[in-house]
Amino acid sequence: MKETDAITVWHWMSDREDAFEELASRFEQETGTKVHFELYAPSEAYAQRVKASAQTHTLPDVYGVLGEKRDFASFINSGYVLDLTPELGAGENGAWKDSLFARALAVNEFLPGNEYGVKPGIYGVPLDVMTIQMVYNQSLYEKAGLDPKRPPETWQEFIAHCRVLKEKGIPRFVSGFGEIWMIDALASNFAMNIMGEDKVFATYRGEVPYTDPDWVKVLALFKEMTDEGVFVDGAVTMVNKTAEQTFANERAAYAFNGSWCINVYKGMNPSLKYGAILPPKVTPANPMRIWGGAGSSFVVNAQSPRKDKAVKFLRWLTSDKTQAFLAEKTENLPSNKNSLSQITPVLAQFADDMDNSTHPNVYPVHEKPAVTEAFDKGIQSILIGEKTPEAVAEEVQRIKEKEQKKS
């Protein structure tokens, strides 16, 4: 086997390096094709490396695009990503895509008439799926005299439980709100619940102002949580890794985190007793939609001379057997539906909520980054008691109007 026939894969997933090496070895044994996994971490450094390599046409055969949908679109429009639609539609035992979660595939899909001008199709293969939701500590619930099997489902219950926890001196809610995308995730969950998806998208299109009472209501939830002393000290500038340590060390009863946390908590505190729940519903009028879908995805370099082999490798990587191995080794939700039987009970709780998931990458319309930043930073200002929800709403609307004028 010539070394030039080997497939090179770039990734950023340091927690899965051993599993990937094992898979590379298995793939070589089965097919005779060598696979080199190259790790570039942390993810910010990886993202920069991929962008720099695109400029010098030195991208590997298989890689992942980190960032928002517009970044993915830019890679595709620049000719760096192979359209996998024909391959995903083919297969010996039914179409390849039929074995994968549709929501995970949707993250890698561009629909007709998409705002980025990308040719409709599926451009990436999900390696795993994830949801971002809430977790609660069952031991702390018991300690507070609350029923560990009855976590809060509604906003009223959540606030009531927080008050009980507060009385018992148990810190309540932690999240890495120093990373503003986490604020964005939680706020958009509440927004989808309060006003429904259509109104959220109408806001992004500029048809509904951020000063609308429903948006003020979303912001007011953060004010209420602040007034109730729900958040642990310092959560507003905390990075998620610290928030994960805080929850794993039982210094908070709730956390807002992604399904990847299972592996993280297991490493930090193997005896931690917790469960996954949806964020509390503010109203029964609309479903609570959480962020979810593809966790990590790989794409094939359209300029690679080994693209056929690369596609074959991705097909193997997402097969029932390989996905079951990955799920077991890395405690991540498999992207292959047929491998779900192998997962742990907590992971199954995250998987149960996959039906409620959505993701900015599947939205039909996207908010301008400057507006999103103003919204998230505005929530930080509410959390430190500096601004009112109304003031933040007006400020965000002002930025929105400015950005609309620009475009």
Partner 1 sequence: MNFQKIRNLLGNYVFILPAALLFFTFSLYPFFKVFELSVTSWDGISPVEAKVGLANFKDLIFDNPVFWLSMRNACFVTFLALTVQNLLALFLALICDRDIKGGNVYRVIFYLPPVLSGIVVGLIWNWIYDGSYGLLNHFLAFIGLGDLSRAWLSDGKTALLSVAVIHMWKGFGWGFVILLAGLQSIPRELYEAARVDGASSWIVFKNITAPLMIPVFILVSILTILGTMQIFDIIIATTGGGPGYHTEVPITRIVSTMIGTGQFGYACAMGVVFGLILLAISMIQIRVSKMMRQV
Give the C-alpha separation, 221 to 225, whole Å.
Answer: 6
**Least distance from C-beta 88 to partner 1, angstroms?**
24
Name the minimum Å distance from CB 369 to partner 1: 4
Type of residue found at 150 = R
CA 8 – CA 60 distance, rounded (Å): 6
Could you tell me the strand order of the sheet in which 297-300 lies? 35-39, 7-11, 62-63, 297-300, 125-126
Separation between Cα atoms, residue 212 and residue 209, nearest integer Å: 6
Nearer to partner 1, 149 or 406 (CB): 406
Nearer to partner 1, 316 or 363 (CB): 363
What is d(CA 138, CA 128) in angstroms, rounded to the nearest whole number?
Answer: 27
Strand stretches in 259-400, DSSP E: 274-277, 290-294, 297-300, 333-334, 357-358
Q: Minimum distance between the CB of residue 51 and partner 1, rounded to whole angstroms?
A: 5
Q: What phi, psi does 60 have (nearest 5°)? A: -75, 180
Q: State in angstroms the smallest separation of the CB of 71 from partner 1.
A: 6
Nearer to partner 1, 52 or 90 (CB): 52
The CA radius of gyration of the chain, in Å to the nearest whole number, is 22
Taking the complex as a whole, the smallest distance from the CB of residue 40 to partner 1 amounts, in Å, to 15
* C-beta of 27 vs 80, nearer to partner 1: 80
CB of 176 to partner 1, least distance (A): 10
CB of 22 to partner 1, least distance (A): 32
> To which H or E segment does residue 35 belong?
strand 35-39
Residues found near partner 1 in the complex (CB under 8 A): 44, 47-48, 51, 54-55, 67-68, 70-71, 74-75, 77-78, 80, 171, 178-180, 232-239, 242, 251, 369-370, 373, 377-378, 380-381, 383-384, 386-387, 402, 406
Q: CA nearest 187: which of 67, 290, 69? A: 290
Q: Are strands 357-358 and 290-294 parallel, antiparallel or unpaired?
A: parallel
Query: Is the CB of 20 or the CB of 222 nearer to partner 1?
Result: 222
Instruction: Return the structure tokens found at 161.
Output: 């439980």
CB count within 10 Å of CB 402 equals 13
- Which CB atom, from 208 or from 236, has the smaller least distance to partner 1? 236
Which residues on neighbouring strands pair with residue 126, listed in sequence order?
Answer: 297
Nearer Cβ to partner 1 (129/253): 253
Shortest distance in whole angstroms from residue 116 CB to partner 1: 11
Supply 388's token pair: 């009112």
CB nearer partner 1, residue 353 or residue 367: 367
The rounded distance, in Å, linking the Cα atoms of 90 and 283 is: 43
